Structure 1
Amino acid sequence: MASNDGVEQLPQLSAAPAGSPGSSIDEKAELKGVQKRLSSDSSLDIKEKLDDKAEDPYAHDEVVYVRGEPVISSGADVSRFLVDTRDDGDPAITFRSIVIGTIFAGLGAALYQIYLFKPVQVTVSTVFLLLIIWSVGIFWAKYFPKASWVEGTRFAWLAPTLRFINPGEFRIKEHVIASLVASTAAGGSSAVNNFAVQRLYYGTNVQALTAILATFSTACFGYGLVGLLRPLTVYPSEMVYWSNLPAVNIFQSLHFDSATNHQRLKVFWSAFTGMFIWEIFPAYIFPLLNGINIICLATQHVPSAAQDVVTNLFGGTDGNEGLGFASLSLDWQYITSTFVSLPLAQQANSWIGYAVCYIAIMGIYYSDAWNSKSFPMLSTSLFDQNGTRYNQHAVFGSTFTLNQTALEEVGLPALTGSNAWANLCANLSIGGLIAHCVLFWGPYVWDSFKQAYNGTQPDPHWQIVRKNYKEVPYYWYIGLLVLSFFAGLIVVLKGETTLPWWSYIIALILGAFVAPFSNLLFARLGNGIATNQLMKMVAGAVNPGKPVANLYFSMWSHDVIATSINLAGDLKLGQYLKIPPRAMFATQVWGTILGAIVNYVVMVSVVDAQREILLDPRGTNIWSGQVPQSLNSAAVTWSLAKQLYGPHGPYIWIPLGLVFGLIPTAIQWAIAKRWPVIGGVRVESVILPVIYMYSAWMSAGTNSPIWSCIIVGLVSQLWLRRYYPGWFKKYNYIVGGAFDGGSQTMIFILSFAVFGASGVPKPFPAWAGNPAQGNVDYCNGNGALD
């Protein structure tokens, strides 16, 4: 189906209707052949698929079938063919589901916080959580005391209590509720990152109550916005939240029993077990497997100047080592199932961004733009002009406010060239995001609200939920917004934020304005745009000379957006699995509160145990402070906005990027109106804000997994989806989710057992696959291969 909606955006790979401008001659011939085979096929299930169109709200849409299976190309295809519409009406919130969810909320939130201090940030897989919860739920149902044990005995009076504790079979909605409590907590809050920054760079130990109130405020304000925006960001079919599909697929496979599902479960547990065992090798025993680079291995004895170039371009296994060009990673914890979930259109746009990133960062560094050669090529830290770490305490002191005299003595801070480029690309992305949503998706937004108001939204899953369950009234969400507002106001007035109350209100308004744009892009393409840069710019304008105030301004404005995306994705998962909306509301609020508490506790533990590594501009291949470093750098530099980003500042082009990001998208829209297809490619399939974002994707962290991610995306979203749609539908998300679950289970164990998350690390003995000195991938000539 040729789509104008931005989900399936590569016409040469899409299921375009025969004869449409976006379909190739080969596709037309293939479609005719498939249709001819279908017309003579007596298979009952294929006929049923065709007959169902009589009552299908999407019956007018053309669908390509390969080997009797539909090619999943759009959100409508996901709703029709990938996700089962079955609803058994089983209970959702039970004592068992809440207890299990609460227990594993702690595990999920702990994992999330641990990964924030890793050289590559990955989200905690919902699949990882749901599988553990499923195992515990099955055990609970089978072995905990049951009402049937006492019925007809003198202990029959205990039956209601036992039925309350153990209601019998562990069914899908209980499972989903428990998993969503855990995954909501595991969604985390970047608010806790601000407390880490204060602990590392300002010597301020934020009190636990202050941290929990602030996290609750930002998370629940974002949730309140999601509730008001449901008709736009959750209900429609094209709001897929693609990264949720592995979890949806596995939930239904575990609970909707059939011979096919039995085979899928067998595949799942085989993949889970295999990855669980495998992950110990690249993560601990044999870390070279995270970045195998032939160029690095073959250039052990080149001159030092050439070695530096090789390391900068080809190295990438250690944190901030290099760009990882042509490296292959076999470490799934960094690849993740994201790339078996994201639409190929989104991934293809990201590949363009990767190509630009290699050229731009190498060009900036070796041309010495922004004085780049005086600093590491990759880092998010702040530096003096001579390349040493910037003494920000001397400039801002214990009051966290600019001392102009000290600034004149110490001098202005400097960004690495890669960090400056990342900030510029972030602004380009934000400008492009707003322009793309308004120009390309504006009519869709209006139609979505009209459909919700009239009750005509065609998504079959929404129709079932709407018919069977009570919706959450809008005033519930408005009440949550009010509670969140006052919780944040208490923190502003009583905590060590240095943020004025009026600035707090501006932050919330700014976040509420940007949230719909970010949700639209994330829901349709599976990946969003980092809008934090805009918040930092505005923070610098309204709170000059106050880096800590800027941290909190950015927290309340940006966290509203980040949490709204996470919670909207959970609402969509609930819609796919027919969870009563009011149960979803209670589940997400409870998970948010639990996550706030656990995130804070784990942050304190890791920061105290690994303080020196987190302050190091480079870090290690296990721990990295790049996230708090980046937040602190932005807070400090934007508090000096006039000096650094003003008309005579060294980084004037960074704020101007916001405007420059708007213009190309406006030109693209004008071209698309006149020439929708150019050279066989739909003009609107080029998503400029995504390209901008990935143009700085490798500016920090571990970059060796990039090429492996591309390969996984091609195998899944091109080869399997297009040529083996039956296998894709049955196993693609199952295997991806199993790999996530296996790898993240092992990483959780290793983090506390040997990586030092709560104490002293226990490194694996040095050998060729785990060199004691230099970079793990040998991109600095370790000499260990002599």
Structure 2
Amino acid sequence: MVPLQDGSFEAVIHLASFTQCRRIRFYICFRIVTSVPFDQYRYTQMSKTHYLEKAPSSESFVDKAPDLVDVDVIAADIQAVAEDVLEAAEYAKTMSPEEVETVIHRIVDEHSNDPNFPSHVLDAANRYLFDTDLKEQPGEYQRLYDELKVEAAMIVINSPYAEVRAVIDNHDDVNMPANTFRTWIIGSILVAAGAFLNQFFSIRYPAIGVGSNVAQILAVPLGKLMELLPTTEFETFGYTWSLNPGPFNPKEHMLITIMANVGFITPYTSNIIWIQYLPLYFNQSWALGFGYQILVALSTNLIGYGLAGLTRRFLVYPASAIWPGNLAQIALNRAFHADKATVANGWSISRLRWFLYCFGAMFVYFWFPDFICISLSYFNWMTWISPTNVSLAAITGSMFGLGFNPLPTFDWNQMIIDPLINPFFTTFNFFLGTLITFPIIAAIWYTNTWNTGYLPINSNYVFDNTGNLYDVAEAVGTDMLFNQTMYENYSPAYLSASYAMEYGVFFALYTATLSYAFLNYRREIIHGFRSILSREKTSSMHKDVHVRLMENYKEVPEWQYFMQVLLSDGSLWFTHFHTRVLVFAVVVGAVGIGVYPTNTSPAVVLYGVFLAMIFCVPVGIIAAITNMEVTLNVLAEFFGGLWFNGNATAMNYFKTYGYITTSQTISFASDLKLAHYMHIPPQLTFSAQIYATVISTFVCTGILNFQMTQIPGVCTPDQPNHFICPGVNTFFTASVLWGTLGPKRMFGPGGIYNGLLWCFLIGAILPIPIYYLRKKVKALEFIHMPVLLVGGLVWSPYSLANVWPAVPIAYLFNVFIKKRYIAWWSKYNYVTTTAFSAAIAICGIVIFFAIEWPGVQINWSGNTRPLEGCDAMGCTRLPIPDQGWFGPGVGEFH
């Protein structure tokens, strides 16, 4: 080690062999970078010429390592771009050895079970702390310390995750306005328009939906247009505002996007009201009342906010809660507003230009798989060899088959998991779960377990004992209540092989989620509850740079949400609005259910919320880390059917308050993290969310009333405009099966699928051996049991064909490119997937209104070939017996 005069480099020649080039280059580069002022290397690479000017006159050193001065070498080692490395290196010079040691301990304590944290950094930290032989090697010990020092600085002043650093600024301009006139005007217009479209076309087949990515794009020209308004300032109730506060900025843009995220969601209670009101279902005309509709809709739409506010300690503040889905939205925002002219692995194209290129290419291409040649979408080419071959279609088919096909699609939209947004471990675990359940389904079908051989192998329909769709009208009386005699004269309900297996996986998933969360995240959950009792915004272990930046804005302690509901000080009304919303939502829901003749106890609201409170934290933690949400729909149906046996409406409301409350809590918490990343004041975010939700609820409820009263023949099979309500029909069938027939007849003692209840126990046990063996078996470190089980739920109606294509793409972008070309990946990865998704959404709208709505079709083999043969028809392996039914006959089941 050669000390030099002040202002020059300190060159270090490691004693190890130069065959360890990567380690040596990192060490030398770090020592060089950290001894030169940051501003000398602002956002640039250190050239060889610059290095030779500064380096000591050591001929052997220069000759042997002429290229060891590229900052990109360090960037590749710690998965960071040069700009972040230089900033971290500058800060590292200010850190004391004690501070570095503290951060290294924090790496091991906080990230040992973190699948998103760079494994090589965790290994280095463990080696530094626990390898007793290391200190006997001073050179290696110093090298490892220097490597961890720059990583420690990175964690302190930035995010520990390359995904977050790629799109999120670790600085904040507190003077940038977000609460502006145009934010509320543009947000209101887009929320109302999106709610209208999504509600109106939700009952049409094929349905059309508008996502928030469309609103995010449309907000830009609207915002730029409003920059033409006068800049005159006004004062209202002591608040100074202007029609044009300056250039349309990223905080305004993101707040509008958050409003669209919550405002484009249609009320889940619309399904309940449809089946209550329509004559072909429950025929309860009183359900047309706007008061009843708006009470239950507001209740279910708002109740998630109270729980989301209470889960911030677990789902928003921790750095490990990265919410990968948010990163794509922020990348698009950054492309429009904060696109620096940087070079990424030789590419100098701006993010916005790259977005436009990708958007245009996908917009043009998507016409082919979606309309011109759907064979590109459903490329079930193996079934074309022998279209009537039942086994070939069952195993390789993409429609009613299991999709075992190495090249199943050329349609980006067919992948049900985004390969660029999701971490690779998520994509791979998801695929692994699908692959493992594949032979199980095939075995169930070929052995005719539960009479599945008489049914299609992969279908989400419910069948009777003749192989036809289950007709619930044959099992209920005129009062729409269960009729035992009619049921025994009709048939039990039968599920396909994939659908039956899916219920078993659901049961395993719920207990596995609780078990996995306890084993892996109990420390984080305990810290979260401890911080609730303190006055700190979050515990010290969670104070990353974004938490520190957000401390500039007012926040609401959770204990006030619980304890201070009735306030005499009017100035505190907004501060405690979370509690008021939670209480308001519970009360309004109970009033709507109790006052109107729903035959349902108002206590169902509390039952459902209690279920949501049990699961929202573990489910939310998994979603925040993996981008995979564990949905509670089956669990809510199961318990709702048990507690409210024979009452479909009560079961539906329990399902709503248990399943949808959890789902919305997760969604709203994700939006809170989105605002957290963009450094938008929390109170402003919350008010925008509430406002957008209320506007959307009233718009959707008004459109629902219009649909019920003004569309002739709505929800009938021959409705001329295709408003046949396929989702409502499915919801009604599930209501009768779970609410009227009840889960006891399917899963209880003597029930056909009783054996699947063992999956609850299996799911609780599965994470335990993985947890204790992962340190001994390296491959098990990458197994995430809840995500793996979620992968087993793709069946009915999806298949392996919708999962496998994402795996090689995910490896290419999130492993190969990310590892070797981190600068390119950081700049373009999330912009690419956002452009594709936005292009597909807008192209789908154009095709729907311009082509499909007028009835234009292209009839040629490219559009008809995938729909021919057993794959499209769902052929069965066994014919129905000559007696006309399979399984127990009339009088043989109860």
The alignment's TM-score, normalised by the length of structure 2, stands at 0.73
Equivalence map 1:663-678=2 (5 Å): 663-669=765-771, 671-672=772-773, 676-678=775-777
In 2, distance between residues paired with 1:703 and 1:762? 32
**Deviations 1:464-494 (CA, angstroms, capped at 9, x unpaired):** 1112445476332121111001121122124
1:764 alignment partner in structure 2: 857
**Deviations 1:187-244 (CA, angstroms, capped at 9, x unpaired):** 4444334445555754557435433332321232111011011111111111111111
Equivalence map 1:154-553=2 (5 Å): 164-196=242-274, 198=276, 199=278, 201-203=281-283, 206-207=287-288, 208-260=290-342, 263-300=350-387, 304=388, 307-316=389-398, 318=399, 320=400, 322-323=402-403, 325-335=405-415, 338-450=418-530, 453=534, 454-455=536-537, 456=540, 457-471=542-556, 474=561, 475-495=576-596, 497-553=598-654
1:645 alignment partner in structure 2: 747
- Measured at CA, do residues 530 and 31 of structure 1 come closer, stay the same or move farther in structure 2, by a change above 3 Å? farther
Instruction: Give the conservation status (yes or no) of the 8 Å contact 2:554–2:681.
Output: yes
Instruction: Give the conservation status (yes or no) of the 8 Å contact 1:197–1:632.
Output: no
- Measured at CA, do residues 718 and 773 of structure 1 come closer, stay the same or move farther in structure 2, by a change above 3 Å? closer
- Measured at CA, do residues 124 and 463 of structure 1 come closer, stay the same or move farther in structure 2, by a change above 3 Å? farther
SS of structure 2 residue aligned to 1:348:
helix
- Measured at CA, do residues 157 and 188 of structure 1 come closer, stay the same or move farther in structure 2, by a change above 3 Å? closer
CA displacement at 1:434 relative to structure 2: 0.6
In 2, distance between residues paired with 1:714 and 1:585? 37
1:569 alignment partner in structure 2: 670
Instruction: Give the conservation status (yes or no) of the 8 Å contact 1:427–1:655.
Output: yes
In 1, distance between residues paired with 2:325 and 2:615? 22
SS of structure 2 residue aligned to 1:518:
helix
In 2, distance between residues paired with 1:297 and 1:631? 36
Within the alignment, does 1:146 sit opposite 2:230 as a pair?
Answer: yes
Within the alignment, does 1:135 sit opposite 2:221 as a pair?
Answer: yes
Within the alignment, does 1:741 sit opposite 2:838 as a pair?
Answer: yes
- Measured at CA, do residues 386 and 719 of structure 1 come closer, stay the same or move farther in structure 2, by a change above 3 Å? same
Instruction: Give the conservation status (yes or no) of the 8 Å contact 1:171–1:255.
Output: yes
2:763 alignment partner in structure 1: 661
Instruction: Give the conservation status (yes or no) of the 8 Å contact 1:197–1:629.
Output: no
CA displacement at 1:33 relative to structure 2: 4.4
Instruction: Give the conservation status (yes or no) of the 8 Å contact 2:637–2:738.
Output: no
Structure having the higher Rg: 2
1:49 alignment partner in structure 2: 88
Corresponding residue to 1:105 among 191, 194, 198: 191
CA displacement at 1:572 relative to structure 2: 0.1
Instruction: Give the conservation status (yes or no) of the 8 Å contact 1:141–1:168.
Output: yes
In 1, distance between residues paired with 2:410 and 2:203? 21
**Deviations 1:704-762 (CA, angstroms, capped at 9, x unpaired):** 43232223322222222222211111000011101111110111233344444xxxx61
SS of structure 1 residue aligned to 2:804:
helix
Instruction: Give the conservation status (yes or no) of the 8 Å contact 2:397–2:404.
Output: yes
Kindly provide the amino acid, as one letter, of the partner of residue 602 in structure 2.
W
SS of structure 2 residue aligned to 1:310:
helix
CA displacement at 1:95 relative to structure 2: 2.3
Instruction: Give the conservation status (yes or no) of the 8 Å contact 1:220–1:484.
Output: yes
- Measured at CA, do residues 773 and 562 of structure 1 come closer, stay the same or move farther in structure 2, by a change above 3 Å? closer
Equivalence map 1:611-630=2 (5 Å): 611=715, 625=726, 629=730
Kindly provide the amino acid, as one letter, of the partner of residue 170 in structure 2.
T
CA displacement at 1:161 relative to structure 2: 13
In 2, distance between residues paired with 1:508 and 1:157? 42
SS of structure 2 residue aligned to 1:340:
coil
In 2, distance between residues paired with 1:360 and 1:613? 36
Instruction: Give the conservation status (yes or no) of the 8 Å contact 2:335–2:352.
Output: yes
**Deviations 1:347-400 (CA, angstroms, capped at 9, x unpaired):** 121111111232222222222111112223233222211112222123233433
Kindly provide the amino acid, as one letter, of the partner of residue 768 in structure 1.
S
SS of structure 2 residue aligned to 1:762:
coil
In 1, distance between residues paired with 2:415 and 2:20? 35
Instruction: Give the conservation status (yes or no) of the 8 Å contact 2:326–2:674.
Output: yes
- Measured at CA, do residues 778 and 537 of structure 1 come closer, stay the same or move farther in structure 2, by a change above 3 Å? closer
Kindly provide the amino acid, as one letter, of the partner of residue 391 in structure 1.
D
- Measured at CA, do residues 220 and 655 of structure 1 come closer, stay the same or move farther in structure 2, by a change above 3 Å? farther
**Deviations 1:535-587 (CA, angstroms, capped at 9, x unpaired):** 11211111111223212210111111000011000000000001111111111
637-646 vs 221-230, greater mean Cα deviation: 637-646
Give the number of equivalent residue pairs. Answer: 725
CA displacement at 1:312 relative to structure 2: 2.0
Kindly provide the amino acid, as one letter, of the partner of residue 867 in structure 2.
G
In 1, distance between residues paired with 2:795 and 2:27? 45
The alignment's TM-score, normalised by the length of structure 1, stands at 0.83
Kindly provide the amino acid, as one letter, of the partner of residue 50 in structure 1.
A
CA displacement at 1:322 relative to structure 2: 4.8
**Deviations 1:10-62 (CA, angstroms, capped at 9, x unpaired):** xxxxxxxxxxxxxxxxx997455444445456854443332234569995359
SS of structure 1 residue aligned to 2:794:
coil
Equivalence map 1:670-749=2 (5 Å): 671-672=772-773, 676-678=775-777, 680-683=778-781, 685-701=782-798, 704-749=801-846
Kindly provide the amino acid, as one letter, of the partner of residue 181 in structure 1.
M
Instruction: Give the conservation status (yes or no) of the 8 Å contact 2:192–2:695.
Output: yes
Kindly provide the amino acid, as one letter, of the partner of residue 459 in structure 1.
D
Instruction: Give the conservation status (yes or no) of the 8 Å contact 2:199–2:703.
Output: yes
1:7 alignment partner in structure 2: none
Gaps of at least 5 residues in structure 2 are 1-18, 43-82, 108-116, 122-146, 343-347, 562-575, 876-894
Instruction: Give the conservation status (yes or no) of the 8 Å contact 1:119–1:701.
Output: no
- Measured at CA, do residues 380 and 74 of structure 1 come closer, stay the same or move farther in structure 2, by a change above 3 Å? farther
In 1, distance between residues paired with 2:519 and 2:207? 32
CA displacement at 1:344 relative to structure 2: 1.4
In 2, distance between residues paired with 1:495 and 1:567? 29
In 1, distance between residues paired with 2:810 and 2:297? 35
CA displacement at 1:413 relative to structure 2: 2.1
Kindly provide the amino acid, as one letter, of the partner of residue 419 in structure 2.
F
Instruction: Give the conservation status (yes or no) of the 8 Å contact 1:111–1:124.
Output: yes
Larger relative contact order, structure 1 or 2 (CA cutoff 8 Å, min sep 6): 1
In 1, distance between residues paired with 2:637 and 2:874? 40
In 2, distance between residues paired with 1:174 and 1:776? 53
In 2, distance between residues paired with 1:637 and 1:231? 36
Instruction: Give the conservation status (yes or no) of the 8 Å contact 2:612–2:662.
Output: yes
**Deviations 1:392-427 (CA, angstroms, capped at 9, x unpaired):** 123233433212222222232222222221111111
**Deviations 1:508-552 (CA, angstroms, capped at 9, x unpaired):** 211222211211111111111122221112111111112232122
CA displacement at 1:342 relative to structure 2: 1.1
CA displacement at 1:657 relative to structure 2: 2.1
- Measured at CA, do residues 245 and 407 of structure 1 come closer, stay the same or move farther in structure 2, by a change above 3 Å? same
